[in-house]
Amino acid sequence: MTDLKNVFSGKNVMITGGLGFIGSTLAYRLAEYGARILLVDSLLPEYGGNLYNIRGIEKDVLVNISDVRDQSSMHFLVQGQDYIFNLAGTLSHTDSMKDPFTDLQINCVAQLSILESCRKYNPGVKIIFAGTRGQYGKADYLPVDEKHLMHPTDVNGINNIAGELYHILYNNVYGIKACSLRLTNTFGPRHQMKHHRQGIINWFIRQLIDGQKVKIYGSGEQIRDTNYVDDVVEALLLAMASDKTNGEVYNLGGTPLSLKELVVKMIQVHGRGEYAIEPYPEEASKIEVGDYVANWQKFKQATGWEPKVSIETGLKKTFEYYEKNRQYYWKGL
């Protein structure tokens, strides 16, 4: 396996969305490796950035409160970086339908802006883009591999396709080393818990902690693929460390479960709780993608990665984290 500490020790690493869920978890790992870490985050209230997410590593990171849509800031911040983990973006499918232009600006225009900053001021950098399973839309077959056609059901999926393709284009034309990982349903500590629009798994966890009945829309039989956040962080690091990934796109995936099976496991881990099956709200039913299971063998073959954290272990760690730290997430900072 790749010696990740040797790869990242002493290197300049920038993480956009660095105070968010995956970005901050990645920062903890990079701090262990002795990287020089720059966290860029807008701290917009609805998007998940939280200063508590870096509690304990404050002295190991530099934080810049900046919006990826600010091109002047990006011109300056990309300079001197060896690696950029480009994790900033909006994730909400429903929000993208209600406010498509904000989604366009953050997930598409800002991505092109970051790449232009790299082309002009740091063409030797390597950048990892966080794509999404939402780019595929409704699956034509399962498991979904990278050759599957992309026909997204919402604006968010369309804009993420464009953001990803910009990265691959700049790799192919300008030599800016870039790779995209198409993430599936990621869960774990440090996720925002104020609303459900950026991750249904963590929202179910909040409902159970609060003693509420979990509401599952649809039949409950729809399948979702899941990854614990530590496995996703490992994938990001391996993708960055390997030259084989330059110009490539990869699926991540792990444990596929129906939503009903997932909630039953949550209740078992938590020791209490109940759920109800309810019809989809109209706005959600029109963009529901149905079953999704990822084929992630291409990435395994390239890097040796495979998910290690079981769904039960991941849920246990997540419940424990929020039960201890809920004051910092139920309302945010």
Residue 81 belongs to domain with CATH number: 3.40.50.720
User: How does pLDDT run across 307-322, given as a tens digit for each residue?
Assistant: 999 999 999 999 999 9
Contacts of residue 267, defined as CB under 8 A and 6 or more positions apart, other chains included, come to 208, 273, 274, 275
In the predicted structure, residue 29 carries a pLDDT above the cut 80: yes
Q: What is the pLDDT of residues 83-127, one digit of tens each?
A: 999 999 876 777 778 889 988 988 999 999 999 999 999 999 999
Q: At 245, is the secondary structure helix, strand, or coil?
A: helix
CA neighbours closer than 13 Å in the CB half-sphere of residue 183: 26
Write down the mean pLDDT value for the chain. 93
Mean pLDDT, residues 284-308 taken together: 91
CA dihedral 50, 331, 188, 59 (to 10 degrees): 30
77: nearest Cα among 18, 158, 161: 18
- Is 170 within a domain? yes
Q: Which residues, 6 or more positions from 186, have their beta carbon under 8 angstroms from its beta carbon?
A: 21, 22, 199, 226, 227, 228, 229, 232
CA 164 to chain centre: 14
Number of residues written out for the chain = 333
The DSSP line for 255-274 is EEEEHHHHHHHHHHHHT---
Asked if residue 322 is part of any domain, the answer here is no
What residue type is assigned to position 324 of the chain? K
In this predicted model, what pLDDT tens digit does every residue of 115-153 receive, in sequence order?
999 999 999 999 999 999 999 999 999 999 999 999 999
SS3 90: coil
pLDDT band at 1 (very low <50, low <70, confident <90, very high): low
- Count of structural domains, the chain: 1
DSSP states of 36-86 as a string?
Answer: EEEEEE---TTS---GGGGTT-GGGEEEEE--TT-HHHHHHHTTT-SEEEE
Q: How far is CA 196 from the centre of its chain?
A: 15
Evaluate whether residue 20 is within a structural domain: yes
Q: Is the pTM of this model over 0.75?
A: yes
E strand map for the chain: 12-16, 36-41, 61-65, 83-86, 126-132, 177-183, 185-187, 214-217, 223-228, 249-251, 255-258, 275-278
Is position 105 within any domain? yes
- 127, 176 Cβ separation under 8 angstroms: yes
**């992630």: which residue's tokens?**
296
Q: What is the pLDDT of residue 333?
A: 42
Convert the pLDDT of each residue in 197-250 to its tens digit. Answer: 667 899 999 999 999 999 999 899 999 999 999 999 999 999 999 999 999 999
Residue 315 within a domain: no
Strands laid side by side in the 177-183 sheet: 61-65, 36-41, 12-16, 83-86, 126-132, 177-183, 249-251
Q: Provide the pLDDT for residue 284.
A: 67
Q: What pLDDT sits at residue 254? A: 96
Query: 174's torsion region: left (phi>0), alpha (psi -120 to 50) or beta?
Result: alpha
Q: Which residue range forms the structural domain that includes residue 231?
A: 4-192+226-254+293-308
More confident residue, 67 or 250: 250
Residue 231 located in a structural domain: yes
Q: Which residues contact 250 (CB under 8 A, 6 or more apart)?
A: 146, 179, 180, 181, 182, 239, 296, 298, 299, 302
% of the chain exceeding 90 in pLDDT: 84
Is 195 a residue whose pLDDT tops 80? no
Spatial CA neighbour of 332 closest among 178, 184, 194, 171 = 194
Residue 95 lies in a domain: yes
Query: What is the DSSP secondary structure assignment for residue 24, as one 8-state letter?
Result: H
Residue 278 lies in a domain: no
How many Å apart are CA 70 and CA 113, to the nearest integer? 8
